[in-house]
Every structure is written in structure tokens, then in C-alpha cells.
Amino acid sequence: MFDQADIDALRTRDVSPGRLLIGGAWKDARGGETLDSISPIDGRILTTIADATEADVDDAVAAARAAFADRRWSGQAPAARKKILLRWADLIEANALDLTVLGVRDNGTEIAMAAKAEVGSAVNTIRWYAEAIDKIYGEIAPTADAALGLIHREPVGVIGAIVPWNFPLMIGTWKLAPTLAAGNSVVLKPAETASLTLLRISELALEAGLPEGVLNVVTGRGAGCGQALSMSMDVDALVFTGSGATGRRLLEASAKSNLKRVYLELGGKSPNIVFDDVGDIGEAAKVSAAGIFRNSGQVCVAGSRLLVQRGVADDFVAALSEAAARMRVGDPLDLATQSGAVNSEPQLTQILDFVAGAEREGARVTLGGSRIMQDTGGYYMAPTVIADVAPEHRLFRDEVFGPVLAVTTFEGEDEAVRLANATDYGLAAGVWTQNLGRAHRMIRAVQAGVVHVNTYGGPDITVPLGGVKQSGNGHDKSLHAFDKYVDLKTAWIKL
């Protein structure tokens, strides 16, 4: 962990304007358009980023296509690509403090979490996929004696990657590392409210020896450069983490353009299910509070719906509320802070609207519910617990993406399953029980890509992350991520 004095020395450092990376060169947007990068810590302008035009995106895609066509990356031996990616990870690790502080200033995540979940995760992810490069083989099919069937794994081509603002480095490298390890070229579009660290690690990628044009970065509005990337006729596959509304637009763009493959991770409304045989209520409540309130609830897998069996509901909610009330919300650059800032003022407004709507529908705010620390100029909200949330309420169904926990009680296991599955989402879930049989039944019954039992969270790169229903398709993390970035090619040889 970093030293507070070292962090403080960087908290006011000037940040250079962000530019576009196209074909190995850093460029301004055509016409010089820029967007302000506003720090959620104090609401002040941190720097600017380029606002890419459609023409800029076309240039980036063309650079990626040229790099793929001449095989300057995909044609290198696996061991050579591995060496460059490992060097890239080493450079990120060597710049960990600068990158972490820059990222916290840009998106508001508490630094104690960002050090592990952002830079630490990025380094581990790149190293993990680098090490996998020369350990994944093709196949020989059990064909007839007169023929030989070979199955090759080939890179897809040009990948468009659109990354959200909550964990730009972690989620960004979940996409970049397997993409590059498989031999593809990529055009990366960071979120306009959190682009700075991805721009910086892209600079380090060039320093590590990644060939020019293999990694290109376009920043700016989703409705501008994001739309242009999704409509490009020369992008072979698109990977995205973000909202369902944007995911739908990307699927429409694919249908209207070249039918590019689109892989989506669209968030969730994850149930955290507590049975009356939970065991240690205090520990479970503490973990559950962290599972919704860390990073101000801006986590795709956050346990935002607490489904608690009626017999322990009062005790569990009281313990969770006590743990939440003790959490230190404040300056994200303070190592003692446990929950930082909401990413932007529009995001904070949206969260507060959810709270007001829940009260109108008859739910009760029992903790928090309001904006705090307004004197800082930043965007902060108290951890919020809302009781009596019914299945028909909007707060029960829709993703808030903020520090808001909806509490609903149930009587038995069947009702718990019914409530857990009563949303359009299916990304993650939690189950708390000391009954091993029940744990296995719930794992099978709850519709989610990830089910935690007697814990919540744990972003280990070795296991896949993906959702069902309207939480998306495809998987980040693990060897299964390669499925999005390789094509299977059959060679049928007559002997």
C-alpha cells in the first residue's frame, strides 16, 4: 500500500490534456474539439480530453486494420508477444502510484480500493493473459484414416472495446489483455468521465514495444465516437461494459452495419440472499455492506437487493446498517476512506431520483438517502438503506449504480428464489447459509452468472465473469475470455 504523504504530493499535480492515439501517434481531434475532465473529488476541471469525431474513429480503425493486415503483431511468435505484454505489465507496476492517484482524481474511487482493483488488477490481468499466449493450442480431430482435420485458433481482426468509468483499468485490461494476447488489433474507447489512466497505460504499451497501430485510443462522447465505432464496417467484433440502453444501440448498429459480433456486460440488480441459518450475523452484515457501499455502489456485481428471511431480518438489517453507518465516506485520496465519490453530478442526480421514487412508492429510507459533503464541491452520497421494497417497485427491478440497498423480506427458500429471479438482470448473486444442500440448490436455482456463497466479491482472474438474461453475453476473465477474440478455422487435409 502507498504512503499517505506520497499520495498527497500528487493530489494537485497538473495533468496534461488527453489526446487520441492513432497509428502510434498522439493527435488532437479534428477541429480541436475537447471535453472537460471534471474531478468528482471537488467538482473542478482536472484537464481536458480530445472529443473524437467520426473521421478520427475511421482513422483509428484504418490504423488497426493496417496493423492486422501486415501481421506486425499477429505474425509475431507467441513468445515474442508474451515478452512485450509482460514488459507492459512491469511498466504499469513501476508507475503504480502515479496511475492510481490519477485514476482516483478522475473517477472518485477510494484509493485503498483503487490500488488493488485498478492498477493491481491491471498488472495481474496482463501478466495472466501474457502467460497464456504460448499455452493455448489448436486441435486434431478424430477423423477417418484418409483425411486429417485440424482446428486452428485465429485472431478475429479488429476489435472495438468500449469501457465504462467505474473501473476503467480493471475492466479495460479484462478486454485489452486477451484481445492483444490472441493477436488482434484494437480500437479502445474509454468513458468520457474516466479516460486518463487508459490513455497513460496505452503510452506505456508503446514504450513496452507494442507495434504502432495495434492499440489505438479514441476518447469523447458515446454519441459521437462510440456510435462511429459501433457503425464501422471494418470493426470485426465489439466488446462493451455499460448500460442496457447503450447495449441495445450497439446491437442495432451491428445489424445496420457489417453484422459485427457484439459482446455485452450490462450490469445487474444482484440479490444478496440471507437465510435464517446465516451463522455469524455480524460478519455477514459487514461483508454485505461492503458488497454494496464500496466505490459508492458503482460496481456491476454490487449486492444491491438484500433478500433476508423474516426471522433474522430485524437483526441482520440492524447489523448491516450499523456497519454502513461506520463506513467512512469522504476524500477518495485519503487512505482511511472506505467509500469515495460518485463519478459525476448527473450520476448523483440519478441516484437521488431513485431514492425519491422509492419513497413515493411506499418504501422507507432507514439510513442515509441524501447527498453529503456539498461544501467540497464534489459528489458524495451517504450509504443508503431502504426497507419495505416490493417486487413491483422500480428500486427492486432497475439498476441504480449507487450506494443504495433495497431490502425485501421472504419466508422460505422457494420465495427467495422467486424474488431473486424477478428482474431482467442475471449478473451476480450472494447466498448466506450454513446448510450445504441449500447452498447447492440456490446456486442452481438463482439465475446469475456468478453466485457467491457466504462471501461477496472476489475478482480473481482465473474464473469467468458474465451474465444471463439482460445482463449480457460472453465472458470477461479466465481462459473463456479468449472465445470472444479468436475464430476457429478448420483445415481438412486429404492424406
Signed CA dihedral, 256, 262, 268, 274: sign only: positive
Phi-psi region of 25 (alpha: psi -120 to 50; beta: other; left: phi over 0): beta
Q: 232 vs 259, 323, 429, CA distance in Å?
A: 10, 48, 36
At a CB cut-off of 8 Å and minimum separation 6, what does 381 contact?
Answer: 296, 329, 342, 348, 351, 352, 368, 370, 371, 372, 402, 403
Selection from 4, 33, 10, 9 nearest residue 20 by Cα: 33
Torsion of CA 334, 335, 338, 342, to 10 degrees: 40
Verify whether residue 265 is a known catalytic residue.
yes
Selection from 221, 376, 400 nearest residue 299 by Cα: 400
d(CA 491, CA 123): 36
Signed CA dihedral, 82, 86, 88, 89: sign only: positive
From 110, 118, 192, 265, active-site residue: 265
Task: List strands edge to edge, sheet with 25-27.
Answer: 25-27, 20-22, 215-217, 185-189, 158-162, 237-241, 261-265
Q: Is 62 helix (H, G, I), strand (E, B) or coil?
A: helix
Contact 104, 340 (CB under 8 A): yes
Chain mean position to CA 339: 18
Q: Provide the strand spans (E) within 156-260.
A: 158-162, 185-189, 215-217, 237-241
160 bridge partner residues:
187, 238
Active site residues: 265
